[in-house]
């Protein structure tokens, strides 16, 4: 009788713990649902506010860049070392010479000798001279070797005595181009041009990695949240034996691999897991376990590659960890 009471007491204790955890899960699920709805409404509002004006600017600048490339007399492809401050000064000089030539409409001799229109291609950047003493930079982003969006940045050069300024651009509003201009532009316009390109390519890379895991593993991912620049990403992987929460933080906006990573596996309490003691799993495990192999994969691989690695090794990692806890 005493053994029965002890057994019953342990059973009720376990069931009480299970019910407590389930209540916590229900409250957490309600909070996540509300938060997810709020994020969706925020995203929809942001898109509506930005869509029309950004689209108009993009279409106008895209047409202007296409016209400039169509009228070019030469396109020069340069490597990294050939792109330097001296070349940018040359481009700036050409811009002012063309502006001066256009201003002297009455001089037939000057108008009869148009300047060469040269476009420069450096990596993912195309730089050309635009009307009105402006330098245009078109950024051609890509992912996995496939082209993605074009972005534009137009610099105005009023005179050689003044620094160039960012006149207009199609960089997404949540990327800090004005802060970059304040930090870098006064000292080095070339660094500004390069940094904006790195910023845009890294954003596209992070975004496309998230898009790809949604496309490939959407049926396994129950929740996925991310910041607008995709420098904070969180998602939940549902497994039959556990729920895996993944949290990623990137050191800065030009990083394509996260630096702060947390991957935790939470035991799922149900009839199957409570009876599978031969696998080292039991309902008494209420605390999450840290999956270090998954964190290492996310630190060194792209998100889709790391996700496949996590799923492949998850059952064995869970069994080993719970077995170590059970025998400790």
Q: Give the per-residue pLDDT at 50.
A: 55
CA–CA distance, 287 with 53 (Å, rounded to integer): 50
Cβ partners under 8 Å of residue 249, min gap 6? 231, 232, 258, 259, 260, 261
96's tokens: 């002012």
C-alpha pair distances (Å), 292 with each of 36, 197, 214, 264, 279: 28, 34, 23, 9, 20
Task: Report d(CA 67, CA 61) in Å as an integer.
Answer: 10
- Band (pLDDT 50/70/90 cuts) for residue 298 is very high
Q: Tell me the torsion sign for CA atoms 66, 67, 71, 76.
A: negative
Mean pLDDT of 159-185: 86
Specify which residues 217 forms β-bridges with.
none
**pTM to 2 decimal places:** 0.79
Question: Which residue in 285, 250, 280 sits closest to 265, CA to CA?
Answer: 285
Q: Which long-range contacts (CB under 8 A, 24 or more apart) does 43-50 make?
A: 46/228, 50/173
The length of the chain is: 328
The predicted pLDDT at position 4 comes to: 42
Yes or no: say if 207 and 230 are a contact pair by the CB < 8 Å rule: yes
* Res. 20: pLDDT tops 50: no
- Higher pLDDT: 35 or 273? It is 35
Q: Which residue has the tokens 């402006």?
A: 134
Tens-place pLDDT, residues 186-199: 568 899 999 999 99
The backbone region for 222, taken as left when phi is positive above 0, alpha when psi lies in -120 to 50, beta otherwise, is alpha
| Average pLDDT rounded to a whole number, residues 154-179 | 88
What pLDDT is stored for residue 275 in this prediction? 44
Q: What pLDDT score was predicted for residue 203?
A: 98
Q: What is the pLDDT of residues 98-150, one digit of tens each?
A: 877 777 765 555 455 566 889 999 999 999 999 888 999 999 999 999 999 99
Percentage of the residues of the chain whose pLDDT score is greater than 90: 48
Rounded-to-integer distance, Cα 194 and Cα 137, Å: 10
Contact call for residues 260 and 248 (beta carbons, < 8 A): yes
Q: Does the pLDDT at position 5 exceed 60? A: no
Q: Over the chain, what is the mean pLDDT?
A: 81
pLDDT of residue 170: 95
In this predicted structure, which of 68-72, 227-231, 239-243 has the lowest mean pLDDT?
239-243
**Residue 186 vs residue 252, higher pLDDT:** 252
pLDDT at 318: 83
User: What's the rounded mean pLDDT across residues 59-85?
Assistant: 90
* Sheet order of strands, 146-156 included: 74-78, 118-122, 125-130, 134-143, 146-156, 165-169
């Amino acid at each position: 009788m005493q053994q029965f009471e002890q057994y019953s007491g342990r059973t009720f204790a376990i069931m009480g713990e299970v019910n407590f955890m389930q209540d916590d899960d229900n409250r957490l699920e309600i909070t996540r649902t509300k938060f997810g709805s709020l994020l969706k409404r925020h995203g929809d509002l942001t898109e509506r506010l930005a869509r029309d004006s950004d689209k108009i600017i993009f279409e106008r600048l895209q047409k202007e860049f296409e016209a400039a490339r169509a009228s070019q007399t030469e396109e020069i492809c340069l490597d990294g070392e050939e792109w330097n401050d001296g070349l940018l000064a040359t481009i700036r000089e050409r811009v002012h010479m063309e502006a001066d030539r256009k201003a002297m409409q009455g001089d037939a001799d000057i108008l009869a000798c148009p300047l060469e229109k040269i476009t420069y291609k450096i990596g993912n950047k195309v730089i050309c001279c635009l009307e009105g003493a402006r330098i245009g930079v078109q950024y051609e982003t890509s992912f996995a070797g496939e082209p993605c969006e074009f972005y534009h940045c137009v610099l105005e050069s009023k005179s050689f005595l003044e620094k160039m300024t960012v006149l207009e651009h199609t960089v997404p509003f949540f990327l800090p181009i004005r802060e970059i201009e304040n930090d870098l532009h006064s000292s080095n316009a070339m660094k500004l041009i390069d940094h904006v390109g790195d910023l845009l390519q890294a954003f596209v890379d992070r975004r496309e990695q998230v898009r790809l895991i949604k496309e490939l593993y959407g049926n396994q991912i129950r929740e996925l949240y991310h910041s607008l620049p995709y420098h904070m990403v969180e998602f939940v992987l549902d497994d039959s034996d556990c729920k895996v929460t993944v949290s990623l933080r990137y050191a800065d906006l030009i990083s394509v691999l996260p630096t702060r990573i947390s991957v935790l596996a939470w035991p799922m309490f149900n009839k199957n897991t409570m009876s599978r003691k031969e696998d080292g799993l039991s309902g008494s495990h209420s605390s999450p376990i840290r999956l270090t192999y998954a964190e290492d994969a996310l630190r060194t691989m792209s998100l889709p590659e790391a996700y496949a690695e996590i799923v492949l090794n998850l059952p064995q990692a869970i069994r080993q960890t719970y077995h170590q806890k059970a025998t400790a």
